[in-house]
A and B are shown apart, each in its own frame.
Chain A
Amino acid sequence: MEAKVFASSQPILSLRGISKYFGGVHALEDVDFDVYPQEIVALVGDNGAGKSTLVKIIAGVHRPTKGHIFFQGQPVEIHSPHDAQALGIEIVYQELALIETRDVPANFFLGREPVKGRLGIFVDRRKMVEDTVRTLRELGIELPYLRSPVRYLSGGQRQALAIGRVMPWGGKIIIMDEPTAALGVKESRRVLDLILRLKEKGCSVIVISHNMRHVFNVADRIVVLRGGRKVGDKKKSETTPDEIVKLIVGADML
């Protein structure tokens, strides 16, 4: 049935029959999950529903116990975050994974600094600063001082930086784990705008969120997990916050 709904295009990423067991704990059970090009998918569910496990499988942090992953129709194995990055899958962790003592360009290019010279070990600092400035400008992210250690940035600025820095790598799919959880109203709005801008730029985005308003603000499709199983997969236009909340808590079973 889903295939009919989205018949217009092929999914860029498809997970089929994914199960993940941690010892005796069934974190995920037979989950199918698709992401289409330029689509924002919200992944919702209660604590322990399996959202984080699912995105960590996509990002190469965990390996599924069962099931298959297809990227642009081709079966792939994602053994490590490095494999995921090679496919164009980037993840923005909830804890952001920034180096607090380092400045903005250093964090922007963390672990993949542009190099110059034949040896390939000398950092091209000018390129780092220029690319950082350009990307931030393209995304409409304003940061006061690039040279200040990241610890002096506000929560929203850090979040914007963490999201912005996945951009230059040609990421096709960007995963965000609770990007607005720690932010105020205004800063959340900015981050949501940023997510929409990533979509305009051709990215697909998977967003984990507990905030129904944010979900309905940006998502094209909403996937609901409960107890490790997929219990809902709805286009935003065909559902309501009430229905999603019922799916999350399992009210239909009461």
Chain B
Amino acid sequence: MSQNRVLVWRGGDLVSLLLKGGSLVGLIALSAVFAVLSPYFFTLSNWLNIFRQVAVVLIAASAQTMVIITAGIDLSVGSVLALGGCLAAVAMSYWGWPFASGALLGLFFATLAGLANGAIIAKGKIPDFIATLGMLGAVRGIALLITGGLPVPSHFTATKLAGYLPESIVWLGSGHLGGIPVPMIFALLVVGVTWFILNRTTFGRSLYAVGGNREAARAAGIDVDRVKIFVYGVSGLYCGFAGLVLVGRMNSANALMAEGLELQTIAAVVIGGTNLFGGKGSVFGTLIGAILMGVLSNGLNLLNVEPFWQRVVNGLLIVAVVVFDQWRRRIVRD
């Protein structure tokens, strides 16, 4: 009898391993297809370019991984990123703040927005989906108000301009360290820290517990509300960092940047094998998922596919991935 169980468990694990490896297999297959179709795809400069573009999504997707593990979802990641990035850019270029204090300002308010999400969800007993959807709209509006709807820095407001963005933030977004793009190094660092949080800290364990069985977590003495508030706060902080990287890469901020980031991050997380319904997931999976998204978009660019088609493909991919997730859950459960 127990022999059977051993087999059942091994079977389940083998399947989940295959499915987890599935995203890696998908990534390799997709890369092979693009390599055949475009001579430019498999060049070092193109891959560095992919990583540079993936960095922002990857940082936000790491946060999204933690949120989704608690059975939550953060739809406001793009807006919070824009808020943090715009605040930092406004402080640096209009108010003449140095990089460090401008960055801290952006990070602070991005974290605050995240904590507000968590507080509304935990204390207001509002579904995660609704609370962060509201925040998506409200925070984007605040970013527009701060920038007046103009790019920052902008010559339309040149009279107010204290200077261009500092070198440090440009370096963060588009610099190189030993030939490797700084945003890529930074994003991989974020993935590493996230892995550590999820696997080696009591907070990380609480995230899985809250997502796996909320009532059991509560019964075990875990302060579910505090965990929720905290994870959304961390999500806000991560988005603040992603905002700094994006502003640095574009050497400019605008209130409408990173629109649709929520869908990209959710897709990366789900492709990476994290359970949309909580309790299970890994940030390394998200890393693969984010790279896969980046390769897809890069490959379509190289093949001169119209950007409009890319939106269609990206949208369909997200639906396909959720269907895949449902199917996988059925398989793995049996």
Residues of A at under 8 Å CB distance from B?
81-82, 85, 93, 95-102, 106, 110-113, 115, 121-123, 125, 142, 144-145, 148-149, 151-154
Contacts and interface: CB of A to CB of B under 8 A. Distances in A.
Q: Give the dominant DSSP class at B's interface.
A: helix
Given A122-B200, A144-B6, 15 more contacts: A82-B221, A100-B212, A100-B213, A101-B208, A101-B211, A101-B279, A106-B205, A106-B209, A110-B220, A111-B220, A121-B202, A123-B204, A125-B200, A144-B5, A145-B6
Contacts of A153: 5
A98 B217 CA distance: 8
Nearest to B216: A97
19 contacts: A93-B219, A97-B215, A99-B212, A99-B216, A101-B280, A106-B208, A110-B217, A110-B222, A111-B206, A113-B205, A122-B200, A142-B2, A144-B5, A144-B9, A145-B6, A148-B13, A149-B280, A152-B8, A154-B5
A99 B209 contact: yes
A99 B212 CA distance: 5
Interface in B199-252: 200-206, 208-209, 211-213, 215-217, 219-222
B22 interface: no
Contact of B201 (A101, A121, A152): A121
Contacts of B2: 142, 144
A112 B9 contact: no
A106 B202 CA distance: 10
A165 to B, nearest CB: 9
B166 interface: no
A142 B6 CA distance: 13
Contact of B202 (A100, A115, A145, A149): A115
Interface residues of B, number: 30
A81 B221 contact: yes
Q: Give the dominant DSSP class at A's interface.
A: loop
Contacts of A115: 202
A102 B279 contact: yes
B12 interface: yes
A195 B23 CA distance: 46
Given A81-B221, A154-B5, A110 B209 contact: yes
B275 interface: yes
A151 to B, nearest CB: 8
Nearest to B13: A148
A53 B190 CA distance: 48
A96 B220 CA distance: 11
Contacts of A95: 215
Contacts of A102: 208-209, 212, 279
Contacts of A111: 206, 209, 217, 220-222
Nearest to B210: A99
Contacts of A85: 221
Nearest to B221: A111
Contacts of B6: 144-145
Q: Which of B13, B219, B222 has the most CB of A within 10 A?
A: B219
